[in-house]
Structure 1
């Protein structure tokens, strides 16, 4: 029986053609990986699809973006995986802290088949994992019935980036010791007063906007707990900087917001990728207010960063600031944030929150 498709249904025809093309392309891509020549002559999937074929070096860039919740890591993660030759995984340790470094190492090696349940969450869940791969999974779900496509996309990427939130920095040490991976760590910090203010605002928002209020329990709203985490991570950061030179760097969210081009150029050099026009365009869209209509959602990565970086000062009372500073004064000083000593000072120096870093802290920033 012949199936006739009316020419008066162009949208149906387009969908059929698109689906057919996607199946063919993905089949070719998987074959490309499985039957590829030696690594030094291998074509990356994303370059083949988006940039045209050319010979590239086998990827040796594995980067951990490490931070706490509400520190701007969604934005930085978006900016670091702007090029087409990256593979991005968000918050793999959320709810899996016990799996630790071994799990992260397996993800760096693209071994999704070892974690079938997690793979389903990775490909079908709400996290903003690798965009190109998840787009293929969404358009043609059968392509992601097993991890073959995802592993293929991961294996040919120049950069494999994992964003880790709400886990002790010390977990990364075995990965830095693993000479087969040569992992680099980008440690993102934000003024703890701003972090707590942001968490408070998220909790107070209407849950209908897709906000997960349960992510912030009482402990995560406690300044003493939050700043104890900062102290422990700072101790670990000093160890990493000394023991693994050139493979750890610190970035303050405030510096990223005020000087995005400078900081992104530095970070791209650190992770071993070129700073291209694509990256510059991404900065313009995400950080200079080009997409302001999309910036009101609490998890949006679009904002006018220079205008909003110290916005928390207008929402937090001096009494709350004092309460946080009692628990976090040493942390604020160590990371180069001003400690306000009076209400008058707090209300008059809103644009002077950042202070010069000490020589010791400067060593953590390559």
Structure 2
């Protein structure tokens, strides 16, 4: 397979950018360029020629754990000296796609007093390196993003939050920034001791009504204080929509220092499409035109939903195949099940992770799954909603033709996850008949 000169030039330039940031952050680590772009997994001695690297850049994401001639080498004593302490922590990654309910799942951990939670830190990697990668389906381009993302995740789980500074724009001054993406979504970053630098004792009774209030009342984020808070917590959780497939995380899953567990959140792609059309109005303008006129625009980007189904299918297929490297570290969670049975699924989730379900989490679930459907329709990023009613309300928002196209393009995924197809407009609108099959997806223990 041949790459165009433009793709090769993009890969080279992006690799140089990642090398620069990796050298600044991991100056003591050899082969920083190879590790940062994901060409060399940890614990390997690598012997690659330029021809090999070019070939690797053209390979698909599924082969990310294969590359040049390698020799397995053991971890050095220095790299494992603190593994006994680190392994006491449970590191959680919520793997999802946009508008699949991931913010809600993230809050199930954010509400726990002993969990340090970060909301979409990889946003800064994407924005700093190659912003257009958010919609990219080019394997070489996605590989560049994934290499940097893995390195940052590894650092964040070790509470090396200063690694984020290489990607935040403008760059933080004196380890302080007001540009962290949606800081207010993390309680740990909006409460003492991170917040009390600005509010003192008043913060003890601070109740935030929205994310924006955190920045207004707490002031710029002190990354050093945030780092200390991360280290003081028993566990850490990160939510991301910027890792396409669980196989992209294999190098992290096999790292004995991380004790990383992945919760893969999935949702009916028809529901994802309906939510994106309502939320990202400019990006999905042609979809709204199709819905309004009944005619599909000839220049409609069908890849916007096709990519979701392709990534979900590959990732879920990997997880359900139960490879040895995922044993005890992978759980599949359908958004619809969580919406209908939030407390039950939360208990199953915490049981899989080996954590105690704190009463504060239970209280949050009760208070945030009985909101009004009208509220959720007006506030697109809220987690307060009537979760059961929201699970399948996409059936009232998409035209029948749009549903037919989506379920045809995503048929293998629908069958794998237990989502029923519809064959008539009346069947689509009949909400008394659920399109979600009763299926049980047990964690891989």
Which has the larger displacement, 91-100 or 256-265?
Answer: 91-100
| Structure 2 alignment gaps of length 5 or more | 1-81, 126-144, 199-217, 283-299
Query: 1:247-286 maps to which residues of 2 (within 5 A)?
Result: 247-286=329-368
- Structure 1 segments (4+ residues) deviating >6 Å: 142-145
Offset at 1:196? 0.5
* In 2: Cα distance, 1:250 partner to 1:271 partner: 12
Match of residue 9 from structure 1: none
- Answer whether contact 2:116 2:230 (CA < 8 A) is retained: yes
* In 1: Cα distance, 2:348 partner to 2:391 partner: 20
Question: Which of residues 233, 242, 247 in structure 2 aligns to 1:166?
Answer: 242
Offset at 1:292? 7.3
Render the CA deviation track for 1:256-304: whole Å, top value 9, x for unaligned: 0000111000011112221132111100111122897577310001101
* In 2: Cα distance, 1:295 partner to 1:126 partner: 23
- Answer whether contact 2:322 2:444 (CA < 8 A) is retained: no
* In 1: Cα distance, 2:415 partner to 2:373 partner: 34
Match of residue 94 from structure 1: 123
Query: 1:246-325 maps to which residues of 2 (within 5 A)?
Result: 246-289=328-371, 296-325=378-407
- Answer whether contact 1:310 1:350 (CA < 8 A) is retained: no
Describe the SS at the equivalent of 2:280: helix
- Answer whether contact 1:219 1:225 (CA < 8 A) is retained: no
TM-score (norm 2): 0.60
Match of residue 132 from structure 1: 188
- Answer whether contact 2:264 2:333 (CA < 8 A) is retained: yes
Render the CA deviation track for 1:205-247: whole Å, top value 9, x for unaligned: 9xxxxxxxxxxxx768633222111122123323555432221
- Answer whether contact 2:93 2:240 (CA < 8 A) is retained: yes
Render the CA deviation track for 1:102-139: whole Å, top value 9, x for unaligned: 21011000112233244659864341453232345556
Match of residue 70 from structure 2: none
For the pair 1:362 / 2:441, whether they are aligned, the reply is yes
Question: Which of residues 415, 420, 423 in structure 2 aligns to 1:333?
Answer: 415
TM-score (norm 1): 0.72
Match of residue 164 from structure 2: 115
* In 2: Cα distance, 1:295 partner to 1:347 partner: 18
Question: Which of residues 109, 122, 137 in structure 2 aligns to 1:80?
Answer: 109
Match of residue 150 from structure 1: 226
Aligned-residue Cα RMSD (Å) equals 3.0
Which has the larger displacement, 98-107 or 115-124?
Answer: 115-124
* In 2: Cα distance, 1:229 partner to 1:250 partner: 14
Label 1:165 to 1:60 Cα distance change in 2 as closer, same or farther (>3 A).
same
* In 2: Cα distance, 1:118 partner to 1:110 partner: 16
- Answer whether contact 1:66 1:185 (CA < 8 A) is retained: yes
Which has the larger displacement, 58-67 or 172-181?
Answer: 58-67
Describe the SS at the equivalent of 2:91: strand
Question: Which of residues 67, 71, 95 in structure 1 aligns to 2:96?
Answer: 67
Offset at 1:319? 1.1
* In 2: Cα distance, 1:200 partner to 1:344 partner: 22
Label 1:125 to 1:61 Cα distance change in 2 as closer, same or farther (>3 A).
same
Question: Which of residues 106, 110, 115 in structure 1 aligns to 2:155?
Answer: 106
- Answer whether contact 1:66 1:187 (CA < 8 A) is retained: yes
Render the CA deviation track for 1:27-57: whole Å, top value 9, x for unaligned: xxxxxxxxxxxx9xx9xxxxxxxxxxxxxx9
| Structure 1 alignment gaps of length 5 or more | 1-38, 43-56, 206-217
Offset at 1:181? 1.1
Label 1:283 to 1:221 Cα distance change in 2 as closer, same or farther (>3 A).
farther
